[in-house]
Structure 1
């Protein structure tokens, strides 16, 4: 089962990386003037090339245009990360800060429900 799953993953990887167009394709024509069928998947390659079956209805499945799969222009995107400057604050004993009163009754008690130690200590 594990090898079968690995085979399916490798097959889908080959199908997407080998058959997704990276440049615009140019149609090829037979000596009769008809368009040759493009091979766009592993299944189509096995069926037509390895098993030597002829496709009776050749059609252009991927429209021969690679610009749908690739980034057209990159200067319209902003890849620069924002930069923030942290200004230091002046500490003064003359200014008294007000802190909220700690109300123990309103604290969440989720830590009381934990009955086991952390995994590092348990082992």
Structure 2
């Protein structure tokens, strides 16, 4: 078994993705649980600085149908902006959107900045 998949969080993430991609018609995914698993897998890859692990996460997410990928990424962004903005920027901008259209990356970066500003405003109140 590849080292990445041997980590419990990554194994769970991998099983979720396999289930979703193999039986989309039969399964109504619990997006909150999937988002939590993705966040844990991303945090693990970031803490160990294992770029290969982060790339596997990205590639597995891209296997999902577009609408589900969007839902999961939106949830991951919201979760990470609240807990670790640097991790959010690293995974979303540097890993997931690596090689993407610069304008698209700029739009997502701006969205992350707005979410962070909104969070800071709420904390100041």
Q: Do they fold alike, i.e. is TM over 0.5? A: no
Q: TM-score, length-normalised on structure 1?
A: 0.25
**Greater helix percent: which structure?**
2
